[in-house]
Amino acid sequence: MTSAFGSRLRQARQAAGWSLRELAGRVHYNTGYLSKIENGLRPASVELAKRCDEELGTGGALVELVPRVLPKSNRPTPRQLPAHDPRVVGRVDDLRALDRTLDSDRMTIAVISGTAGVGKTTLALHWAHRIQSRFPDGQLYAGMRGFGPQAPLDTGRVLRGFLQDLGVAPQAVPAEADERAAMFRSLLAGRRILVMLDNVRDSEHARPLLPGSSTCAVIITSRDRLDGLVAATGAHRRCLDLFTVATSKELLATRLGERSVAAEPHAAAELAKFAAGLPLALSVLASRINPAFRTPLQDLVDDLQTTRLDGLNGGDDLDLRTVFSWSCQRLSAGGARLFRLLGVYPGPDIGMHAAAALTGTDLGRARRDIAELVRAHMLAEHRPGRFGCHDLLRVYATEQAQQDEPAAERRAAVSRVLDHFLFSAVAGDRHLYGSQSGIELDVPVAGARPRDLADYGKAVRWFEEEHQVLMACVQHAADDGWDVHAWQLPRVLEGYLRLRGHWQDWVHAQHIGLAIAERAGSEAAQADAHRSLAQVYYSLCEYGQTEIHAERAIELYGKVGDRAGEALAHRHLAWAYQDKTDYQRAMFHHRQALALFRWSRHGLGEASSLNGLGWTTAHLGDYHAALGLCRQALSLAEKTGDRHLQAAIHDSLGYVHHRLGAPGEASANYRIAIDAFRELGSSYYEALSLNNLGDVQLDELDTESATRSWRAAKAILDCLNHPRAAEVAAKLER
């Protein structure tokens, strides 16, 4: 009568459809033979086979098959690492970080991720060869094809190969992937084996191939960040950076020879820039160099001026377009669309809200799409909440947008982005300085989603984050025919650029605005641009340009009937004449500005003009009258709530009290001004008040404090690259 053991054996064989050979393989596995062949367990397998023969009535067939399915004892230890180029440059820090992962008591799992062409496989192979002596029981390698022209390699197939490479007979490999993974972990238990999984698609593509033993190590490369794997296993992730120009030239030197690069250093630097820091692109460029030419590097640079991505086609897997396309193929529809539209986005980087405007989606959708692009290393988060990609990916995105996005959708995306930034900037500008010459806007286009910048701090932070993007939007609007945005954006950026002392950006933006206003024939817009240019040139101490633009602004404002704008231009002229010590003309223009501000009921402008009159009156020697004017100005400014103007008036009061022989009052007012300007982030005016405070301290014979104040002022002015730094430096020298 058949025993329970035989009954279970028959049922298992029938359910699984095992042949005798497959059953023999199970006999070896169940006796632990496969994981412990070195310990002489062959007899246990044979005994089990005899019992199975008796129960199943197979006449000794299993006993006969057992030796045939056993792996050969002379099977070589797997040494599967592919050949590598030992000339790795620019990765010293990465290699040190990878070396440190080997010091752990648990199994090392090193994830090397990065964008396409950044050199992940090159680094991984270099490191694997460097540490292979630590793993005498073997090194296993699998190219997983996660990104490429072929379908990703099935993990079950990889496991079958690994098991056979480790000595498992083909007939003994389990049919189910989970069982193969379990057998793989059993085989590697206690053994020192290195596993390299190259070009993994995602976390689940790698997870079944991980050993379970702390004696093993795994190296994984992927364009995906593998967040899930890192979180679940504690893997050490190393995201590779793009090469700098210096490192790129070093790589070119290893390929072309140091003499070639040294002979044409400028051309070598240009090639490095064309490659955007991608080692793969640099390798393609090096392969295109013709040493027979007299200036081979410069000749290639000249060719690349018009063939950017075309010039980076090295054939086969070295075509950058093809390499990038493999990443795009893995994206969702939303992620792929966002990537394409980045090709028409004006700025150098993008935040979540701008991404939502670009695609016309909600913020949640934008977050998910950006997160997907970051995981795929098609975007990088170079600052918290700020995302960008290298130039070659940007060029590829532009090509994809031209190819796959209709012209109407591309233009709609730009319209949403420009409105997003314009309306957000208007909201923010209201908090920086009181509205002196407001701008009226229609409603934003659908999907623009402008920011709600509810207070001063939020406004300043937003302008700082978006500074370079806003400047790029100004240029893009001018170049691409968005005339209204091209003159309105510079107008609303004026307050922030003034606050932070970005003089050259201010000049550049306003000249663009002026050119577009002239092209559009808008006298009001031209007047605003001239008035703003007068102010920035005054800030730069270029008084001739100040007079030219202020006088032109007064003329144009008079034509369009904008009295407040006319008053502002008079005020800029007044301050210019003040600095030139032409106090009578300064008084005339201050009075003109005051009358126009009062006529137009512009309280903030009236307070500012009273302060200007007080300042000029003090320079004419009538300090008591100046004190009265400045106090009137402060009372009005406090009613308006404008903290910048209040700080400026305290600076004026400091000057007047100093001249009246009240150094204590002077210092107190200067300190109020300094603290306010510092809190508001108005570095330039903080420096001016520090300079004035130093004068008071010197008169009090407190040279140590005066030196400290002047040094602080000079540090700010040097940082702003402002010409007044020389004036403060002269005081320090004396």
Which of 74-83, 88-97, 392-401, 628-637 shows the lowest per-residue confidence on average (mean pLDDT)? 74-83
382 membership: H or E segment, kind and range: strand 380-383
Q: What is the DSSP letter of 317?
A: G
Identify which has the larger pLDDT, 21 or 52: 52
92-239 and 602-734: identical CATH topology: no
**pLDDT band for position 27 (cuts 50, 70, 90):** low
Residue 32: pLDDT over 50: no
In the prediction, which pLDDT does 324 show?
87
CATH topology of domain 602-734: 1.25.40
Integer Cα distance of 516 and 479 in angstroms: 10
In the prediction, which pLDDT does 633 show?
96
Strand partners, 140: 195
Integer Cα distance of 280 and 641 in angstroms: 58
CATH number of the domain located at residue range(s) 92-239 in this protein: 3.40.50.300
Residue 176: pLDDT over 60: yes
In the prediction, which pLDDT does 436 show?
47
Strand partners, 79: 139
Integer Cα distance of 252 and 287 in angstroms: 10
Percentage above 70 pLDDT, the chain: 88
Which ranges of 660-700 does DSSP label H, i.e. alpha helix? 663-680, 683-699
pLDDT tens digits along 182-234: 999 989 988 999 999 999 999 999 999 999 889 999 999 999 999 999 999 99
Residue 445: pLDDT over 90: yes
pLDDT tens digits along 465-496: 999 999 999 999 999 999 999 999 999 999 99
In the prediction, which pLDDT does 433 show?
73
How is the chain split into domains, by residue range?
A: 4-69, 92-239, 245-320, 602-734
Angstrom distances, CA of residue 267 to CA of 272, 297, 392, 580: 9, 6, 18, 48
Amino acid making up residue 153: L
Integer Cα distance of 393 and 19 in angstroms: 54
Which of 81-85, 474-478, 588-592 shows the lowest per-residue confidence on average (mean pLDDT)? 81-85
- Tell me the mean pLDDT in the region 293-301: 86
Phi then psi for residue 283, to 5 deg, are -65, -40
Which of 50-54, 347-351, 440-444, 483-487 shows the lowest per-residue confidence on average (mean pLDDT)? 50-54
Integer Cα distance of 237 and 227 in angstroms: 9
Residue 159 near residue 180 (C-beta atoms within 8 A): yes
| Backbone region of residue 104 per phi and psi (left: phi > 0; alpha: psi in -120 to 50; beta: other values) | beta
**pLDDT band for position 40 (cuts 50, 70, 90):** very low
Helices 265-274 and 296-304: crossing angle in degrees, nearest 10, is 30
**pLDDT band for position 34 (cuts 50, 70, 90):** very low
Integer Cα distance of 439 and 426 in angstroms: 8
E strand intervals along 100-193: 108-113, 139-143
Buried b (16+ CB within 10 A) or exposed e, 294-319: eebbbbbbeebeeebbebbebeeebb
CA angle 20, 24, 30 (to 5 degrees): 140
Residue 630: pLDDT over 70: yes
- Tell me the mean pLDDT in the region 690-704: 94
Integer Cα distance of 726 and 562 in angstroms: 38
**Cβ-proximal residues to 413 (8 Å cutoff; 6+ apart), any chain:** 341, 344, 345, 358, 359, 360, 405
- Tell me the mean pLDDT in the region 12-35: 53
In the prediction, which pLDDT does 295 show?
85
Residue 151: pLDDT over 90: no
In the prediction, which pLDDT does 303 show?
82
Integer Cα distance of 681 and 667 in angstroms: 21
Phi then psi for residue 662, to 5 deg, are -120, 75
Identify which has the larger pLDDT, 6 or 343: 343
Q: What is the DSSP letter of 480?
A: T
Integer Cα distance of 675 and 677 in angstroms: 6
Residue 720 near residue 684 (C-beta atoms within 8 A): yes
Phi then psi for residue 209, to 5 deg, are -100, 10
Residue 323 near residue 116 (C-beta atoms within 8 A): yes
By the 10 Å C-beta count (0-12 exposed, 13-18 middle, 19+ buried), 138 is classed as buried
Identify which of 614, 680, 596, 667 has the alpha carbon closest to the alpha carbon of residue 641: 680
Average pLDDT of the chain, as a whole number: 88
Residue 22: pLDDT over 70: no
Strand 380-383 versus strand 386-388 pairing type: antiparallel
Q: What is the pTM of this model?
A: 0.78
Q: What is the DSSP letter of 141?
A: E
